[in-house]
Structure 1
């Protein structure tokens, strides 16, 4: 998901202030994605890592550690770990979703094949675990290992909940907390741990990352039903065509009349979609204001992220993280 189309860009300001650290992260990523015996690994990895992503998740680790006064070298290793985990999940997700486009470019599974994408993703997970061990901090290892398991769990839960009109908001929250928020919260939390912050402040960093990630994913799901496809790196209605039960649809189903529910059953549960169905689905969401209520939900989570920052030391980076929470929902304007 691109962050480019809103007017203000706090992630760009973060990138500027963290430029030296980011340069070290990028250098470490390039060094560790090399494979002496399998040249396809750096080819596939470079295609995705060099595709213009914002490095948002590793920036969260760098910002958290710097905000907490860390002066050692290992925040770079942890930021690279976070990016490797993220990239591995993207490779796997594109295979699962049978995606043909990522960040406006052909996906690795389209350019190479599914086997290459899955195996290179596995390699990046292995590299991530090598990196996360190097700081010699068991709590860091515990956080990132648990996040990796939670991410996989969230993806499997999404598979089992897919096309099930009985999927509740609680299950949806569990899915997005797994597939997105788990890595956001781990990224911020380890920044505090490596800086040896008190437990209460480490918890605040976790809460910030968790709420930011949930808000981010809700916005991502909402943008599937509005916005310019070129800006967000995917086509409008992709989630609908893939029959994903995201929050706007879950709420529309919950509010549906018997006739409306029959429509949702046909297009989501049965996958029997025809021309005009996307427009009708969006009209139903407008009728029950589920797009508006979903936007309000994203704003609530962004507010929780900002509140969590109140427990952390005053710092210019803290202000930028607060602006980032606002910016995540500003993408909807």
Structure 2
């Protein structure tokens, strides 16, 4: 049975268009969802993201008094009270250690929420994994760009294999306290057996520059979207006159770049670290400049949802002058069959 239907997710962190929310509500009702419709937003954005008449669920706040006061202020002074995202830990992003939170740190908070008669959705209850390049990213004005890793382990009560953890057992004890008299939780299943995988030998390589597809040419760099490419990498290539030692600048790089001169890697630039410039000492003569750009993940929360173009999104400058006449090689890696691998050791000076 469907008990509740959420018409939007954290929309208040992006906008406050009530007409848009009303249209969402109308669509769900016309589709036959006649149960409890609701919105959910972080506490600071709940006023923007709720629709009068619908239940405003709260994310990230678990102080019972504050949760009830906020819901009451937006819902005619009444509940029900629902924390749509109650966090038992947090996800990981590149450049940080794996996030773990001891169960003891959250068990008391869970107890107080349930004791106050507040319903919760534990996010995440079950760890998981994204596939391919389908990770996301966070970005706020007061924090750097944070691309999430593929694992969504989250230090969740159930691990990625679906097995109960010590945190699960601790939370289970808390939940048992708040069940009706005489009600017992079912027995926890035994951990599932795991297969043993022998060591995998990686004995083939393929030089990236030796496996480029046909390029698309343009006066200025094209974004992933302009190339009709969603994920992966794009190699940007142009020819410039060498014999200079000056600064290379990529305006609005999205997100990570490997810079090569005549096929040799000379440096990297990382949006996470707010890097956009690199000193280049070019040899004399005509020089091939390659910039391999990786899409590290699109922003999936907040006001920058529509500022999500990838690649070199503005322009490239060297010695203060804009570089033009680019070739773009799309490398989505959605099909690796055309790539020519070899078991021979290669002296690669660029990416493999």
The structure that has the greater radius of gyration is 2
**Structure (1/2) with the larger helix percentage:** 1
TM-score (norm 2): 0.22
Higher relative contact order (CA closer than 8 Å, sequence separation 6+):
1
TM-score (norm 1): 0.23
